[in-house]
Amino acid sequence: MGIRKIWALTPVIANVYAHADITRIDYSLVATMSIAACLCIRVFNMVVINGVLNSGGDVKYTMVVNIVCLWGISLPLALFCIKTLGLDIRFVVIAILSEDIVKAILVYFRLRKKMWLKNLVTNMNESC
């Protein structure tokens, strides 16, 4: 549903850049479409990381996954695409979104193994 709304709003987004040349408008539309296409994966990550894993007591793993994916994948890959390869914004956005794909794979396997389940409540009989 969100993807369709973003795709429907792309002409409105393009009108924001009406004073720009056609290349910038095309680049902004491709970047918007890429973000919309990756929205399902991003929502999956938000639900699993912020909802399931954190509430199950697996906060350290989610913190490590977020830090490693951001500082180890997303930002270096974007910098490599810009500085070394000289790619335009379309490919840089796709490189940044690759973080979500790697993160989704990591948290999916963690979720399936049920390693995130931790008892966060002490037994009342033991503490008395």
**pTM (2 decimals)?**
0.73
Q: pLDDT per residue over 21-64, tens digit each?
A: 777 777 777 888 888 888 889 999 999 999 998 888 888 999 99
Domain ranges of the chain: 1-37, 44-118
The CA distance from 63 to 78, in Å, is 21
DSSP 38: T
Q: How many CB atoms lie within 10 A of CB 31?
A: 20
Q: pLDDT per residue over 72-118, tens digit each?
A: 999 999 999 999 999 988 889 889 999 999 999 999 999 998 887 77
